[in-house]
A and B are shown apart, each in its own frame.
Chain A
Amino acid sequence: MMDDGKRDAPPKKKPYQKPTLIEVALRPDEAVLGACKSSGVSGPGGSGNCHPAGASCFSQGS
């Protein structure tokens, strides 16, 4: 093969970026769905188990 004298330009290197550490706040008490946000309590025995102990137990956090 003849070398036509043309060569591909070497690929440009990406500029070096120093790795950085980003801290992300976690809320494990919210993430595991372990407790109600309100003072209501889940479980049988209340007004129809939909709003136990007279207070709704909707999901934690808003």
Chain B
Amino acid sequence: MLQTVALETRRGNAHECGALRQRVCIGDIRVDLTCDDPSIDVAVCQTTRQFLVDGGRADATVCTSRGDLRQPVAGIEIFDSGGLWKLYRDASDYVFRLKSPTFGEHAYKEARFTSDFTSGTLTLHADYCTPDEPVFPLEYPLDELLLTNLLARGRGVEVHACGVRDHDGRGYLFLGHSGAGKTTVAKLWEQADGLILSDDRIILRHLDGKIWMYGTPWHGEARLAAAIRTDLAGIFMLGRGASNDLLPMTQAEVVAGLFARSFVPFYDPAALAFTLQVLQRVAASAPCAHLRFVPDSSVVEFVRQNPL
């Protein structure tokens, strides 16, 4: 059984600071961006603007400031992404250090979160900041790192997929790794009056007794994103083919396929266990098949005429 988690905003704890500058809502998860420093112009990226909201109650708060990140991070390293970030555990806090050779030897950003990720502080290394430029505190990959951790604590899961609300209201989820055809499918459905929730990243949540898929600002090459949600009529694992074909899948194959295309905190066993529960529920909520497809408009009609 999925556990219901009480989502309480942690007002007044040690990580809370600053005036509210922006509030984003992605997958029905609200994150407040706060800042005490009047010289920091807190902004959001273009595709994230449609996810800005005014009302509601925050699920998490991130306070931004400038600082000095020349010192090594306190705590024990628990995960190395092999890329932009490493994760440390300092007492009960999670600390992400982001580093890039473009900027130099020091980290350009540090994000420190409470263990439930509802409250965090973000430090920008002052030497690498450009004055008078707006700052998006949750610039990639921090936006997805925060959301995937919040999701994995009782809320849902983010998957590597294109989500479509078709012209008749039916929701289709097309999962795939890079190169599988998510953007191709998104463009084809867009030309056929489908609404694209994202051509690369979809959030799945179990709410009100059913699975919802949510659009995210994290688009792919087609740059398609929409701040809406829809329910699921079909799940497809994408692959290229010489013709359009549907291949059946067992429940175990569906769950495994979903997991292989999910973004989860691999460093947190409880989060992984919860994610598997969600994916099991997703697999049971809608029919699923491998979709081998020809990259032209015929696949749209094929799916519409062959409901799972």
In the complex, what residues of B have CB within 8 A of residue A58's CB?
47, 140, 200, 218-220, 223
Give the shortest distance, in Å, between A47 (CB) and chain B (any CB).
7
Q: Which listed residue, B81, B136, B200, B253, touches A50 by the CB 8 Å rule?
A: B136
**Are B84 and A42 in contact (CB-based, < 8 A)?**
yes
- Which residue in A29, A49, A62 is a CB contact (below 8 Å) of B135? A49
Q: Which residues from A are CB-within-8-Å of B220?
A: 37, 58-59, 61-62
Q: Indicate if B77 sits at the interface (CB-CB under 8 A).
A: no
Question: Interface centre among B125, B128, B139, B256, by most A CB within 10 Å?
Answer: B139
Known A27-B178, A42-B98, A43-B103; contact A57-B140, beta-carbon cutoff 8 A:
yes
Are A42 and B100 in contact, with the CB atoms below 8 A?
yes
Contact at B83–A35, with CB atoms within 8 Å? yes
Q: Is the CB of A53 within 8 A of B83?
A: no
Total inter-chain residue pairs, C-beta < 8 Å: 142
Chain B residues with CB under 8 A of A46: 130, 133
Q: Is the CB of A62 within 8 A of B222?
A: yes
A50 near B139 (CB under 8 angstroms)? yes
Q: Tell me the complex Cα distance, A58–B200, Å.
A: 10
Secondary structure at the B interface, as helix, strand, loop or mixed, is loop
Judging by beta carbons under 8 Å apart, are A32 and B82 in contact? yes
The residues in B between 67 and 107 inclusive whose CB is less than 8 angstroms from any CB of A are 79, 81-85, 98, 100, 102-103
The residues of A that contact B103 with a CB separation of less than 8 Å are 41, 43-45
Is the beta-carbon distance between B128 and A43 smaller than 8 angstroms? yes
Candidates B43, B102, B263, B264; contact of A43 at CB < 8 Å: B102
- A22 in the interface, Cβ–Cβ < 8 Å? yes
**A35, B178: Cβ atoms closer than 8 Å:** no
Residue of B nearest to A59 (CB): B218
A31 on interface, CB distance cutoff 8 Å: yes
- A32–B222 Cα distance when bound, in Å, is 22
CB contacts (< 8 Å) of B140 on chain A: these are 33, 36, 42, 57-59
In chain B, what residue has the closest Cβ to A62? Answer: B220
B117 at the interface (CB under 8 A from A): no
Q: Could you tell me the distance between the alpha carbons of A37 and B263 in the complex, rounded to whole angstroms?
A: 15
Q: Is A2 an interface residue (CB 8 A)?
A: no
Q: A32 CA to B80 CA in the complex, in Å?
A: 9
B44 — which chain A residues lie within 8 A by C-beta?
50
B residues in contact (CB < 8 Å) with A: 43-47, 79, 81-85, 98, 100, 102-103, 108-109, 124-125, 128-130, 133-136, 139-141, 144-145, 148, 160, 177-178, 182-183, 199-201, 218-223, 252-253, 256-257, 259-260, 262-264, 266
Which residues of chain A have a CB within 8 Å of any CB of chain B? 22, 24-27, 29-37, 41-53, 57-62
Given contacts A24-B257, A53-B102, 20 further A-B contacts (CB under 8 A): A24-B256, A27-B178, A27-B260, A31-B262, A32-B81, A32-B266, A33-B81, A33-B148, A33-B263, A35-B81, A36-B84, A41-B102, A41-B103, A42-B100, A42-B141, A47-B133, A52-B139, A57-B139, A60-B178, A61-B220
Give the 3 A-B CB pairs with smallest separation, nearest first: A62-B220, A34-B83, A34-B81
Q: List 26 A-B contacts (CB under 8 A).
A: A22-B252, A22-B256, A24-B257, A25-B260, A27-B260, A29-B82, A30-B177, A32-B82, A33-B81, A34-B81, A34-B83, A37-B220, A41-B100, A42-B100, A43-B139, A44-B109, A45-B130, A46-B130, A46-B133, A48-B133, A49-B134, A50-B45, A51-B45, A52-B139, A59-B218, A59-B220
